[in-house]
Amino acid sequence: MAITQQEIEAGLRELGLKEGDIVLLHSSLSSLGEVERGAEAVVDAFLSVLGASGTLVAPTTSRALGVIPETLKQRPAACHSIHPRASVAALGAAAEEICRDHWKAELAHGPDTPYVRIAERGGYVCLMGVDQDRNTTLHTAEELLRLPYLKPTVEHTFDTPEGRVTKSWPFFPGPHRNFIGLDRLFRGSGRMRIGHIGNAVVRLIRSSDLIEIAKAAGEKDPAFALCDNPNCGDCVRQRADIRRHRFSQASFTVAASACLAGRTVDEIVEQCGVAGVDAVELDDLGGKPVSVLGADVVLRAVERLRGEGRRVTALRAPAVGQKAEALFRLAREANVPRVVLPLSGRASEHAALAGEAGVAASFFNVGLDSPGASDLLLRLRSEGSSAGFTFHAAHFARAGEMPFLGSYKQKLRRFVDQLDVEDALYDGTPQPLGHGNAEVKEMISILSASGFSGCMVLGQGNRLTGTLLDAVRRFEHLLDTM
Ligand SMILES: [Zn+2]
């Protein structure tokens, strides 16, 4: 049997709506079941409950435009907010002030837009037979937080009472988000009322509560509105944007071993994009160390990486043999500022070659304990070299030392200009970051606490425990739990 306007009114009153209230309505007519007089009856029911002093608002963007907002929009007394991406229609006492100059506001859903004005006036958001996915006011929370994954809109040209305007909006919400998953936040807060009208589930919450709850969640976790489906390309990309932003705020540079990121330049670009890491330490290409590749291959790769927005922090060689001089010349030719190579008895010779080529050298420990490394580095200093030290914590663990409490604190802290972020057990078995004996969390913590301006490189040893994305997530988890 069809439901009537009176029954809808009774349902709205039962939810707590009364004369004078302002409601932003997201709705699906069909969800109610059969309605006598259809959308007209729904609109009339709201207007009757809200009375002459109340206001009914509905979004009228093409995505939101169902038959109920269309009906509201067509009413002769309706006001329309002018906005190419976030418009609403409103009817009632506050309609004009809610709609006024929407297009002039800096953000599409921020201050001086209908969404914030409704919240400021104590208004409600009502979801009638639709879920949180349709809740436009959630964009307000995202925009107020200026979340790093939000992008500017394209430029829109449109008519206003003040003439033709061309404008774009910054921090505009993009593709997929998991708004549905946020419903439990509002339910859990006790501030959302849930009722039934006809067949429809109807949710009602004060807009200011909604924004406050969503903002608090976003302050805690900027990915709060994103889904965690690893195959959702949208949310994978948006999470990368959040990470890229976070890393850009750090005193140090986060870089990925090219070898960990992929075999080809295309793969490296793609995987760094997914991980949100913009800097690359070029160690291997196609399974071969850069020190044995032709100069033209390396130059082309550096050029391509740069073209794709990836900075190359260093060329790195696992061993250099007789090729050290060529490697330094190659770095200079490619405009790569540093070469990372093993610390050995030939370090002085290598440091001198680096100086001649005009690039910086940084030596990493392999097969050395910390007294041995410290002796070699002190000798370099006494020779006037400013070469840096790449602290390979996992290698010190393999040498049987406690990398942070022993190697770093006692001997090596003054030389470090790079941390190789890898983990391993004392017996040498590679481990996911934070699961081994390399004290990587302690190393990351002490360096970031002291304003370290060098590189933290997600090293190729991580390949044995997962992908670059796995490593960067664990790295982030370590940062989160400090
Ligand atoms: Zn998603």
Q: What is the pTM of this model?
A: 0.86
Verify that 256 and 170 share a domain, yes or no: no
Last residue of a domain, one of 177, 200, 220: 220
In the chain, % of residues over pLDDT 90: 94
Last residue of a domain, one of 220, 240, 258: 220
Give residue 180 CA to ligand 1 midpoint distance, Å.
Answer: 11
Residue reference for tokens 């009906």: 71
Instruction: Residue 300: give its domain's CATH number.
Output: 3.20.20.150
Verify that 193 and 265 share a domain, yes or no: no
Give residue 149 CA to ligand 1 midpoint distance, Å.
Answer: 12
* 137 located within any domain: yes
* 228 located within any domain: no
* 241 located within any domain: no
CA distances from 39 to 69, 199, 349 (A): 9, 15, 84
Give residue 154 CA to ligand 1 midpoint distance, Å.
Answer: 22
Give residue 175 CA to ligand 1 midpoint distance, Å.
Answer: 8
Last residue of a domain, one of 220, 235, 265: 220
pLDDT at 64: 63
Give residue 228 CA to ligand 1 midpoint distance, Å.
Answer: 7
Verify that 271 and 213 share a domain, yes or no: no
Give the phi and the psi of residue 275 in degrees, each rounded to 5: -80, -20
CA distance 476 to 92: 49
* 123 located within any domain: yes
Q: What's the domain count of the chain?
A: 2
pLDDT at 410: 82
Verify that 326 and 461 share a domain, yes or no: yes
Verify that 176 and 315 share a domain, yes or no: no
What Rg value do the Cα atoms of the chain yield, rounded? 30
Contact by Cβ (8 Å): 282, 268: no
Verify that 337 and 215 share a domain, yes or no: no
Verify that 92 and 198 share a domain, yes or no: yes
Verify that 303 and 207 share a domain, yes or no: no
* 311 located within any domain: yes
Domain containing 140 equals 5-220
The residues of the chain scoring below 70 in pLDDT are 64
Give residue 242 CA to ligand 1 midpoint distance, Å.
Answer: 14
Give residue 234 CA to ligand 1 midpoint distance, Å.
Answer: 5
Give residue 78 CA to ligand 1 midpoint distance, Å.
Answer: 36
Give residue 132 CA to ligand 1 midpoint distance, Å.
Answer: 14
Verify that 169 and 261 share a domain, yes or no: no
* 436 located within any domain: yes
CA distance 149 to 226: 10
Give residue 233 CA to ligand 1 midpoint distance, Å.
Answer: 7
Give residue 80 CA to ligand 1 midpoint distance, Å.
Answer: 32
Q: For helices 265-275 and 233-248, what crossing angle results, to 10°?
A: 80
Contact by Cβ (8 Å): 34, 136: no
Verify that 208 and 258 share a domain, yes or no: no
Strand partners, 91: 56
Verify that 284 and 415 share a domain, yes or no: yes
Verify that 78 and 176 share a domain, yes or no: yes
* 227 located within any domain: no
Give residue 32 CA to ligand 1 midpoint distance, Å.
Answer: 29
Give residue 264 CA to ligand 1 midpoint distance, Å.
Answer: 28
pLDDT at 323: 79
Structure tokens, 428: 């040498």
Give residue 35 CA to ligand 1 midpoint distance, Å.
Answer: 35
Neighbouring residues of the ion ligand 1, judged by CB less than 5 Å: 176, 227, 232, 234-235
pLDDT at 102: 98
* 278 located within any domain: yes
